Amino acid sequence: MTDADETAALQRARELIAEAERIVALTGAGISTESGIPDFRGPQGVWTRNPSAQKLVTIQSYLASAEVRRAAWQERLRHPAWQARPNAAHRALVELERTGKLAALITQNIDELHQQAGSSADIVVELHGTIHQTVCLQCSDRRPMRETLARVESGEMDPPCRLCGGILKSATISFGQALDPQVLARAQSAAESCDLLLAAGTSLSVHPAAGLVGIAADAGAKVIICNAEPTPYDHLAAEVLRGPLGTVLPSLL
């Protein structure tokens, strides 16, 4: 695509936003890379650089191996989310919400940067949970992550639930784990009832999240995809924008 093509696509996408009345945004790891949190599958992604890392994040290996859990707690201690701050792309979605048109901000991210930027908790749908809390896999007790990380720092390498002794994990969805059915239903119903779906910073390769694009398109919504690399849903999109989100979303929104 030439610069002139990009500019024309941006202009057409702006018109679609202006015409829309009920917009749903679907975001992924790519919206937070400019805040210093690497994605999984982009060129600098965690799994692009180390494909075997993906095996460590299945719920089966987490449940079966204390060694995997100890490694996971060390990763959580060092997670870039603790230092990350929202970037211009997160803030652009706050501006979109101010227009009154943003019905839902569905995110696959676990970093809470949308809420930190100022998006209302009411419209943010966290499909894959949050790293800012822990959950007990036995009794479902939830606590702030920082409480449990303090235990890890003081020497508990695989801290058990204080209430029932069960295995603790970040309150995120691991591979092999089902999404919360109520959260998924809310996202699907938002996708069905929007007139424009804006997907940003997602490779659209994780289901059921990626399927929301098809649901919206089948229900008659226009689709705009903003992602640095091609996605399997580009053919459904009225416009595809490839530039960095920290620049593209502020100029679009």
- Tell me if 117 sits within 8 A of 95, measured CB to CB: no
Residue-wise over 71-106: b if at least 16 C-beta within 10 A, else e?
A: ebbeebeebebeebebbbbbbbbbebbeeebbbbbb
Asked whether position 32 contacts ligand NAD by CB under 6 A, the answer is yes
Among 14, 22, 45, 71, which residue sits at the site for ligand NAD (rule: CB under 6 A)? 45
The minimum distance between CB 223 and ligand NAD, in angstroms, equals: 15
- The stretch among 70-78, 107-115, 160-168, 211-219 that binds ligand NAD (CB under 6 A) is 107-115
Asked whether position 117 contacts ligand NAD by CB under 6 A, the answer is no
Our CB check for ligand NAD shows the closer of 156 and 229 to be 229
Our CB check for ligand NAD shows the closer of 112 and 195 to be 112
Token pair, residue 221, equals: 């919504």
The minimum distance between CB 149 and ligand NAD, in angstroms, equals: 17
- Tell me if 219 sits within 8 A of 191, measured CB to CB: yes
Please list the active-site residues. Answer: 128
Asked whether position 108 contacts ligand NAD by CB under 6 A, the answer is yes
Q: How far apart are CA 179 and CA 206, in angstroms?
A: 12
Number of residues in contact with ligand NAD, rule: CB under 6 A?
27
Asked whether position 168 contacts ligand NAD by CB under 6 A, the answer is no
Q: How far apart are CA 204 and CA 189, in angstroms?
A: 18
Q: What is the CA radius of gyration of the chain?
A: 19
Residues 50-89 that bind ligand NAD (CB under 6 A): none
Residue-wise over 170-195: b if at least 16 C-beta within 10 A, else e?
A: bbbbbeebebeeebbeebbebbeebb
Asked whether position 41 contacts ligand NAD by CB under 6 A, the answer is yes
Our CB check for ligand NAD shows the closer of 169 and 195 to be 169
Amino acid sitting at position 71: A
107, β-bridge pairs: 27, 126
Asked whether position 211 contacts ligand NAD by CB under 6 A, the answer is no
Interface ranges with ligand NAD (CB under 6 A) = 28-30, 32-34, 37, 39-42, 45, 108-111, 128, 201-203, 205-206, 227-229, 244-245
